Structure 1
Amino acid sequence: MHPGFQSSRRDFTFGPWRLSAARTHIMKSARVERLAEELHMPSLPEMMFGDNILRIVHDYGFGIEFNATDALKCVNNYQGMIKVACAEEWQESRTEAEHTKEVVKPYDWTYTTDYKGTLLGDAVKLKVVPTTDHIDTEKLKAREQIMFFEEVLLFEDELHDHGVSSLSVKIRVMPSSFFVLLRFFLRVDGVLIRMNDTRLYHEADKSYMIREYTSRESKVSSLKHVPPSLFTEPNEISQYLPVKETVCEKLEFPAKVDPEPTPSPETTCMESKSV
């Protein structure tokens, strides 16, 4: 963290919703080691913000939150063929690297996650329903006052100075709606760029949220027409990355609610992947 960093927690009320964003220090090594053992992973990202969180909770107790620990639960602990091939290619392009041999391990060393948030609630919970509806991007472009904005970094790893793997979430609240973007961004220098985005949109007069998950990926060798300066700019490079998978869902509010529910988490990972 930057010198003089101060932990912060910001809360905002949007109708029946309470929005909370907490930003604090990197987890201490002892906690990181314990968590790695719990997750059956040889190591966790260099910068692990285990106490950072964005939480959106309705007055009745149901809602959704975004945190690093649940995101890492969605990382594949066993390398698939694509990951092995990528690691081997990375090795070949970095034969002189000090940590090259550490790349190929029995887990996804890129920390790629298809995490889409953790549903909250017990007696009542958001219902996930497949849909063909998409977020209305034109509404998002409308000029509206931003009443609340926060960005929270969940984890980051520089892949031994040969790229970056990061997960962050940001929210903006307007008078008529709120919008969340959870972004996993991976750049393995000279090899691959990957971006998994989860967008969440709720309009105040609707009884549901729209959630869109989009996975994009490209080998760097296929991006020769793109200025390399854009490789470090997720917002700029995204338009050049082919879409590998898109999933649209409605998170419907419960029809009946218990006024005093006991929240319990449910992590949402993608159940299947398309190549």
Structure 2
Amino acid sequence: MMIHGFKSSNQDFNFGPWKVTATKTHIMKSADVEQLAEEMHMPCLPEMMFGANVLRIQHSSGFGIEFNAKDALKRVNKYQGAVQVACAEEWQESRSDSEHSKEVVKPYDWTYTTDYKGTFLGDSLVFNVVPTTERINIEKLKTREQIMFFEEVLLFEDELHDHGVSSLSVKIRVMPSSFFLLLRFFLRVDGVLIRMHDTRLYHEADKSFMLREYTSRESQISNLSHVPPPLYTEPNEISQYLPVTQSVCEKLEFPILAEAEVAAPTVPTSVPEP
């Protein structure tokens, strides 16, 4: 279970031509959740739905990318696929003594699995997405560089009737020469499987593009007998034991702008509160 800070906050951080906005507020009211579920044609939404939470990275010319719960849930399978059915049946058998086991298996993906990679912003100016063999330089990210801004935003979480967890959160850190973002969907169905979908976004100040890497990992719990069970609840630790099922690497190329605008250095124009 994550630690939930319910204190509302809205932070803006400017660096060069970019602005990061991190909005964190209270959980959605049940009436609003029910209405949204109806609009999205889903029987129900996650128990902890942070519909107003958002992390946004926007260029001064208007284009950018943001991460929010509603768009992420639009990517959930409304009509349970074969994988979900098999998983749900196995889960139901393992929980046959549970009063909730029957009600959880519904005609939709009750695990809220999403392959959401962000929502593009901009009207006439938007990113141009192209496949790439270029990779995020993890070694460069490990070098000690001042972190000028850091924030983590929870988008949704559901405890699957106390038999696991499904969550989506996004965090960003901004350094003088670059920024790095991680959007993580984490699913653990106790006794059945662990699944992780990570979207990493990286931009270096002198480049006219961002790199976006999407990695999907998954394993049946039965194949993790060699892993200490306490790690099952630690996404950072368990990820190395989960086989990669999909990997997509893309360049988000910036629309054509005046050279000066693209190449503006990432000198902070404001410093976040300590």
Aligned counterpart, 1:254: 255
- The 3 A distance-change label for structure 1 pair 3 and 243 is closer
Cα-to-partner distance string for 1:57-116 (whole Å, 9 max, x where unaligned): 000000000000000000010111111000000011000011001122110000000000
Hey, what's the Cα distance between the residues in 1 that align with 2:140 and 2:98?
48
Aligned counterpart, 2:246: 245
Note the aligned Cα RMSD (angstroms).
1.3
Aligned counterpart, 1:111: 112
Aligned counterpart, 1:62: 63
Aligned counterpart, 2:267: none
Aligned counterpart, 2:34: 33
SS of corresponding position for 1:217:
strand
Q: 2:121 matched to 1:120?
A: yes
- Taking structure 1 as the reference length, what is the TM-score of the superposition? 0.91
SS of corresponding position for 2:97:
coil
| Structure 1 letter corresponding to 2:145 | E
Hey, what's the Cα distance between the residues in 1 that align with 2:66 and 2:190?
31
Hey, what's the Cα distance between the residues in 2 that align with 1:44 and 1:5?
19
Structure 1 stretches of 4+ with a deviation exceeding 4 A read 1-4
- The 3 A distance-change label for structure 1 pair 29 and 233 is same
Aligned counterpart, 1:204: 205
Aligned counterpart, 2:266: none
Cα-to-partner distance string for 1:161-187 (whole Å, 9 max, x where unaligned): 000000000000001000000000000
Aligned counterpart, 2:219: 218
Hey, what's the Cα distance between the residues in 2 that align with 1:109 and 1:159?
8
| Deviation, structure 1 residue 2 | 7.7
SS of corresponding position for 2:236:
helix
Cα-to-partner distance string for 1:231-275 (whole Å, 9 max, x where unaligned): 000000000000000000000000147xxxxxxxxxxxxxxxxxx
Counterparts of residues 1-275 of structure 1 (less than 5 Å): 5-256=6-257
Hey, what's the Cα distance between the residues in 2 that align with 1:252 and 1:10?
26
SS of corresponding position for 2:238:
helix
Hey, what's the Cα distance between the residues in 1 that align with 2:4 and 2:80?
37
- Taking structure 2 as the reference length, what is the TM-score of the superposition? 0.92
| Deviation, structure 1 residue 30 | 1.1
| Structure 2 letter corresponding to 1:189 | D
SS of corresponding position for 1:159:
coil
* Runs of at least 5 residues in structure 2 that lack an aligned partner in the other structure: 259-274
Hey, what's the Cα distance between the residues in 1 that align with 2:3 and 2:84?
33
Hey, what's the Cα distance between the residues in 2 that align with 1:193 and 1:119?
29
- The 3 A distance-change label for structure 1 pair 202 and 79 is same
Hey, what's the Cα distance between the residues in 2 that align with 1:139 and 1:207?
18
- The 3 A distance-change label for structure 1 pair 173 and 256 is closer
Hey, what's the Cα distance between the residues in 2 that align with 1:8 and 1:32?
21
| Number of positions where the alignment pairs a residue of Structure 1 with one of Structure 2 | 257
